[in-house]
Structures are given as structure tokens and as C-alpha cells.
Chains A and B, each alone.
Chain A
Amino acid sequence: MRIIINELKKIFNIKFIILLVLINIIMYFLFIEFEITNFPNGRPALDIYNMLVEMEDSYGEFMDGEEFDDFKVKYEEVKREADKYIQSREDFKRAGINNYDEFASIDITNKELDRLHDDVFFEKEIDVFWELPWREEYIRVYENRKEIMMEKSSNEKQETRIKDILENDIETSVFSDVIFFNYNNLIKPVVTTILLSVMFMITPIYLIDNKNRINYLQYTSKIGRKIFKKKIIAGLLASFIVVTIQFICFFSLYATNNTFMFLNSNINSIYNTIISWYDLTFIQYISLSIIGTYILAFVFTLTSMLVSTMGQNYITVIGIQLPIALFTFMVLLKHLIYYMTSIRYPKYFLGLSYIILILISTIYMIIRWRREKKIDIVY
């Protein structure tokens, strides 16, 4: 235990912590901050978000037939509001527009009318006019949901899955890609930052000792080569701490996006871009990505250690880690974190890839440990 604590102290030395904080701040401002401070991003997104909150408020997690009728009634109400606004304005009367329907079919090639159109949307930013097209869109999608859902399948297995969803009316879930897309856009840079931090912290773990020839001293002590194992534990523990702290920071920032009312909504909504193999609620999806990140972090801890034992100097280590990192950030994360459990992939793709990653890293580590037991210290 004492050795593990001392190893942890070595990993968390003050220089590295300062650099780690700086790396995280930069990653935050370069890749994460935008989706946090700009949610919902811009006009239609804001209106969809507001409409969705209202839907969730009055219908709960799913919108059944009766509630849908109510949704249509609300649409009519908003429309009347728009009518009232149009009728209250003289310039609309002069242009011969008396209600929303006439406004919606406005001919924007006509300069005079186009000016009115822009005035309502971009100059005065009247809410109802931004809202109405999306209410219409949501009604249209709901009414045609069976066909729209079925169109998303491209093979038999996906078809059965979609039929399954339709049978249980899960597609009527009150959830939308405005929220889902935002979360996915955030989780990718967050996981990138986390893995980068883990790599940065763990990689020197054996290298420093090898470079300073401390390992010769270690080998001759009572604990001997078992120090290798202790370091593994210390490394895993360190990355657990790093990941947990980063997740706490991230989710306290994410909480400012105000999406907690949708945590219990099923993600397989007709208004969402993903169809999942499983009936996941949003909170379950988030948990899944957290678990995935922890697994990836541990896998990366082990690979970083492995790299650490291989190189005799820093440039070798960086040179090996660099392609691994680039491949992970550019290719691997796209499939393992972004849109997890989507039916775009084979059903067991996600689970299998994670298991393979875990197996590869542990097996390599075991092999390395066996070699460590026998390794000759006179090079």
C-alpha cells in the first residue's frame, strides 16, 4: 500500500498537475466550450428546445394519440396568435396578407414581401413565427412516423428492431436530436481530453525509473520485481481519479445546458437521429458513455504503460504514442463513443470491440509481466 501511495505521488507531481490543468483548459476552450455556452445554438434550435420542454411538461415521457390531438390544438392556438400579430400590423394589410397561412406561402422573390418576411424573422425575431414551422414539422413527422421509421432500415435485422420499437410505441418518446446531437458533440471532445490526460499522466511511469536506472535498485530490494504490478495498480488508480475528476467537472458544466427533464426520455424517438438496438433512456445512454470512457481510459492506461516499458527515451515514447493517439481520436472514438448502440452498426459491434480492446491490453500486460519476472538486468 505504501508503495502504491508513493507511486501515486510520483504520478501526481506538481509539474504534471499544472500541465494537466493547462491542457484541460485549452481543450475546453478549443473544443468543448462552444456547445456548452451556445446551447440551444441559434434560432430554430432554441424554438425546438422550448417546444420540447413544453411537450415534456404536459405529456410526460411519451406522446400518445390523445396528447397528440392536444398538441395539434396548441398548434392552432399559436397559429391564431400569429394571425393576431399579422392583423395588428398595417404594412401586412397593405401587402394583402391577412393570416399566417398567407404569410407562410409568401413569395420571397417579391422584394416588398421579402422585406416583411425578414423583418418578422430576423429584425424583430417574433417567437411564434420561428415556432410554427417546427410545430408543423413535428406534427407531420408524428403522423407519418411509421413510414419515416421504416425508411431508416437497410437490412432485415434493423427492420425487426424498428418494428419492435413501433409495436411498443417507443417512437412517440418526447425527445429530440437538438438535445442528443448536443450531447454527442460534447462527449467526443470530452473523451478525447480525458484519454489525452490519461496518456500524458501515465506514459512516464516506468520510463523515469528506467532512465535513471532506479529499476536496478528496485530489483535488488525485497519487493523486487513485484514493483511492476504495484505500478499497474497505481496507474489504474491514478487514471480512475483523473477520469472521475474530469467527469465531475464536465457534468457540472453540462448541467447548465438544462436538459435534465429529458433524462428519463427514451432516445429511440422519431424526432431523434439515432435508432438504438436497446430501449435506452437518455440517462442510461449517458451512463453507457461514461462506462465506455472508463473502459477506454483503463485500456489506455495499460497501453501507455506498455509503451512506457518499451522506450528508453522520451522521443521513442512520444513517437509511439502519437500514432496511437491520432488513430484513436480520429477513427476509434467515432465508432466507440459517438452514437453508441446505433443500428448503423451490427448489434454486437460495440460490446465486442470493447471486449477485444480489454483483452488485447490485459493479455499484453500479462505477457509483459511474465517477461519482467525473467528479464536480465544486464542489458
Chain B
Amino acid sequence: MDIRINELKKVITSPIIIGLLVLFIVFNFVIIFQNSYFKDDLKVLTKIVDKFGYKIDDEMEVRFGEYYDQELKKLNRIVNEKESKNYNSVSKFYKDNPYGIEDIYDKEEMRFIRELEILEAYYYKIGEIDEVYSKIDIMEKAEYEITKYRLSGKAADTVRNQYKNFSNRFHQLINNKEHKNLFFIGQVHRMHSLLFRSLFKAIIFEIIILVVLITAYLVNYEFDNNTEAIAYTTKRGRNLILDKLYIAIVSNILTATIILITSLGLYFMIFNYSGLWNVPISSYFNAEYNFPYMSWWHMSFIQYLISSIGLIYASILLFTGITFIIATDIKNTYIVFFVFAIIFGLFLIVPNIAPRNSNTVFLGGFTPFFLIMNPFVWFMESGAFTTFKYYELTTVGIWLVLLLIFGSVAVKKFKKQDI
């Protein structure tokens, strides 16, 4: 036990690891603050949800419509006083005032008009949901993906099959009315991208860098400090490598948790999600581009967030394992770092060589390296290579087994090798 605590001390007292950790957290804060300028716009939705709830049904639509008309009347009252004009929408009003309205209206009125504009956007968006979803054809999307990546033969059939499965899910989603829920307008605010693409990707890469450094540092510590002759010469000493692995996992999880808690903590402090935690992630309002986000399962925002964080922790285990195996073989931390980077790159480029007409082309997608590239479409329809229902679980599962096997081989080899 004592050995383990001492190993942990090596990590938490290392100025470099602490320094990098602080630097990464600052970097994440910059990402969040850079995008915080529209946080007031988001409050409009919080108000709407407070009044009507997030579920869109007939009753809610009627009540929301009445409320919108009422607010529009208020707007016309204000406008009438100053310009004696009438508008039937805020966008028309803005069109008539292209050079700003600062001179005519005071601050309070401007805020009201701005909020009503956002309210109006929600109002019109609710109206278009059915039309948008009636036009979505999942199989058409499959064909689009196939031509996009020039797939043919068996590979194309696999994509078609997967999308056929997804098509069932799509109909289920419509029956469940998962898409009919209010959320921040994706096309305007891109909150899903901000959180799961920009922030998550930054966090993941930071965590990987720390994982590789910490694991390689611990495993190779004795060799870097010329103490291997003392530490490993006895039979008991060789078992130290397992303690090191154990502490590497613990400290990697620890640093990852620090990064996640600080960054996500600040994110949710700045952007107010109250009332929206249980909105399905497949809501039409969450859609950012012409194809909405659609998850394989009925997941609420909070479930999606937790699953994603879980997946991050799972990949920490995988990357620790990969680094551990490299580090037991290569005794130089510097080279371990670059070898890891090279392996990372190879796993991203080599799949491109696979023939486009056989199923081998999909194998390259089932790696932790490929998995972490697009955190914003985890558990979702996500293109030809990753739209498999259990893609994330399979990848983690297969690699966990592989790494356990190779890891124990590496440990065995380590125990017998010459120092």
C-alpha cells in the first residue's frame, strides 16, 4: 500500500503535470467564455419552458400561439406610440429598421423586442416540424453516404442494412414525439456543437495527452532516474509494474475528473439549462444542419451527457492500456510519447487503404482513436462508418479484451526480461 501512495505522490507533486492541468483548464475556460456572449438569448427559452413546459402538443401549441399574439400586440402598442405602424411579425419590424433601433427605443423596449424576436423564432419553428420530418428519408441518407465515400458491393449493403435498422428507430422516434420538444435552437446557437464538439473534443485531447504522459512517466520512472537496478532486481520488485499500472489508472481518472468537473461546471454555470435536462437529445430544436441529430435510443439530454462522460472514462482506460503496453516495451518516455502519436495517426489514415467494396472498410472505424474524433455524434446517426447501434459499446468492449490480453502478455514479458 505504501508503494502505491508513493507512486501517486510522484504524479500529484509533479509540477509539469499540475502545470499542464492548469493550462488545459484555462484553455477550456477560454472556449466557454468566447461563446458566452449569447447566454442572455438562451434565457428566453427558459422562460417559455417555465410557462408551457418543453413538450410540444396541441394544447401547448394553442397556448403558446395565444401568448405570442398577446406579446405581438404589446409590440404593436409600443411601435404605434413611436412610429404609428403595425407589424404582424418582429422580423418584418427589423426589416423596416435595418440600421438599428437605438435612437427610437429605450433599453427596456429594445430588450423586449429582442426577446420577442427569439420567441417568434420558436413559434415559427414549432410550425415547421411536421413538414421537415415528413421530408426526411433515412434510406436516401444511406445512399448519400454511400456515394459520398464511394462505397460499393458488400460495404454498401452493410450501410443500407444499418440505415434500415435506423429507419425503424426513426419511425419510433416520430411516434414517441421525441422530436417535438423545445430546446435551444440548434441552427442559431449551436449549443450541441459547442458542448459536445468544441468543448468535449478539447477535453478529450487534453485528457489523452495527460494519460500518455502520466502513464509513461510512472511506468518508466525507474529507468528515467536510473533506479531500475534497485527497484526491479528482486522477484517482488517486478510486481511493482502492476502497482504502477493501478496508480496510473487512478491518477488518470483523477486528472480527467478535475478537468471535467471544472470545465463542465463553468459551462453549466454560464449557460442555463434549467428545465431542459430531460428534453430528448433527438429534439428537432437541437438540429444544427439540414439533418437533425437522432440518437439510437430514447435519451434525454442529461442521459446523453452522462453516457458521453462514461464513454470518456472508458476511453481513458483504453488509452492507459495502450500507453502501458508501449511503455513496458520502450524505456524512453520521450519516444513513448511520439510512438503513441504515430500509432494514433496510423489508425486514422490506414483505414483509407481498405477496399471500398468489402466490409473490411468498417474495421478501421472500430478503434478508440476513431471513436474519440466525433464526440458530438456518439450514440447517433453519424455517417456511413459509425451508424451501428452498438458501435460505441462494441469498440470499447473489443479493445478492452484485446488490451487485457496484450497487457498481461506485456507484464509477463516484463517480469522475465533483462534489465
Contact = CB atoms under 8 A, between A and B. Distances in A.
A316 B16 contact: yes
A315 B217 contact: yes
Given A313-B225, A315-B16, A23 B341 contact: yes
Given A211-B224, A313-B225, A318 B342 contact: no
Nearest to B19: A319
Contacts of A200: 338
Interface residues of A, number: 22
Given A204-B334, A313-B333, A318 B213 contact: yes
Interface residues of B, number: 26
Of A313, A316, A317, chain B has the most CB atoms within 10 Å of the CB of A313
Interface in B118-150: none
B16 A30 contact: no
Contacts of A203: 334
B332 interface: yes
A204 B349 CA distance: 28
Given A23-B342, A313-B224, A315-B213, A320 B348 contact: no
A318 B335 CA distance: 10
B17 interface: yes
Interface in B323-347: 332-335, 337-339, 341-342, 345-346
B306 interface: no
A322 B209 CA distance: 9
B97 interface: no
Interface in B1-43: 14, 16-17, 19-20, 23
- The secondary-structure label for the interface of chain A is helix
A316 B17 CA distance: 9
A26 interface: yes
Contacts of B337: 314, 318
B345 A26 contact: yes
A30 B369 CA distance: 14
Interface in A309-330: 313-320, 322-323
B334 A19 contact: no
Contacts of A322: 20, 209
A314 B334 contact: yes
A147 B191 CA distance: 40
Contacts of A317: 334
A124 interface: no
B213 A19 contact: no
Contact of A26 (B17, B20, B342): B342
Nearest to B341: A23
B220 to A, nearest CB: 8
Given A19-B342, A316-B16, A318-B337, A26 B332 contact: no
Contacts of B339: 19
Contacts of A251: none
A100 B225 CA distance: 78
A109 B333 CA distance: 63
B349 A30 contact: yes
Interface string B339-364: 10110011011001000000000000
A314 B213 CA distance: 10
A314 B345 contact: no
Contacts of B209: 322
A314 B349 CA distance: 28
A379 interface: no
B349 A22 contact: no
B349 A26 contact: yes
Contacts of A319: 16-17, 19-20, 213
Contacts of A211: 224
A313 B335 CA distance: 13
B332 A314 contact: yes
A111 interface: no
Nearest to B333: A314
B228 to A, nearest CB: 13
A348 interface: no
Interface in A180-223: 200, 203-204, 211
A374 interface: no
A309 B14 CA distance: 18
Interface in B194-219: 209, 213, 216-217
Nearest to A15: B335
A365 to B, nearest CB: 22
A317 B341 CA distance: 16
Nearest to A19: B338
A312 to B, nearest CB: 9
A30 B351 CA distance: 12
A235 B17 CA distance: 28
Interface string B69-98: 000000000000000000000000000000
A19 B335 contact: yes
B30 to A, nearest CB: 11
A314 B352 CA distance: 34
A30 B348 contact: yes
A305 B99 CA distance: 56
B187 to A, nearest CB: 23
A200 to B, nearest CB: 6
27 contacts: A19-B338, A19-B339, A19-B342, A22-B342, A22-B346, A23-B338, A23-B341, A26-B346, A29-B345, A29-B349, A29-B352, A30-B348, A203-B334, A313-B224, A313-B333, A314-B334, A314-B337, A315-B16, A315-B213, A315-B224, A315-B333, A317-B334, A318-B334, A318-B337, A319-B16, A319-B19, A319-B213
Given A319-B213, A320-B16, 6 more contacts: A22-B342, A26-B349, A200-B338, A315-B14, A318-B334, A319-B20
The 6 A-B residue pairs with the shortest CB-CB distance in the complex, in nearest-first order: A319-B16, A26-B345, A314-B333, A314-B334, A29-B349, A315-B217
Interface of A: 15, 19, 22-23, 26-27, 29-30, 200, 203-204, 211, 313-320, 322-323
